[in-house]
Amino acid sequence: MKKARSPIDKNIETAVHELLDSRAESRIYVYLLRKNRARSDEIIRGTKLHPSTVRELLSKMYNNKIIFREKIKTDSIGKNPYLYSAVSPMRLLQRRVKIIESRLNTIANLTGKQNGNKYVQIMLDNQGDEP
């Protein structure tokens, strides 16, 4: 019998989805936040996403610095698996703020360049504790 996700989990995933590219990425991110660290096979089982989707998104999320990974040393033959963990939610929000600031500055300076006005720079107030 499948265990249904709780309304709280769905709400968290929806909120995280606003910061990430896809629902699948948000499911992986939330799963890693809850578990702290996990291998790809655990993420596949925990998120109920297709294995190739999880592997592709883990690679993308690692390249985009949304998750961390470290190799697990094993004595068995074959590749050593990775152990994945999520960046802090605050860091994820700070990255999103930088993207929004950049877009707002681009828009604000479109009219300034046409009218010969000075350069405008918009900065959102960052009151978080993390850098």
Q: To the nearest whole number, what is the mean pLDDT of the chain?
A: 82
Residue of 49, 48, 50, 51 lying closest to 4 (CA atoms): 48
82-86/67-71 β-pairing: antiparallel
CA distance 9 to 32: 13
Domains of the chain are 7-87 (1.10.10.10), 88-131 (no CATH)
Q: How confident is the model at residue 12 (pLDDT cuts 50, 70, 90)?
A: confident
Q: What is the pLDDT of residue 86?
A: 95
Q: What are the tens digits of pLDDT across the range 109-128?
A: 776 555 555 566 667 665 55
The span from the CA of 18 to the CA of 45, in Å, is: 24
Per-residue pLDDT reduced to its tens digit, 30-53: 999 999 999 999 999 999 999 999
- The tens digit of pLDDT for each residue in 68-104 reads 999 988 777 767 789 999 999 999 888 888 888 888 8
Strand (E) positions, 1-131? 67-71, 82-86
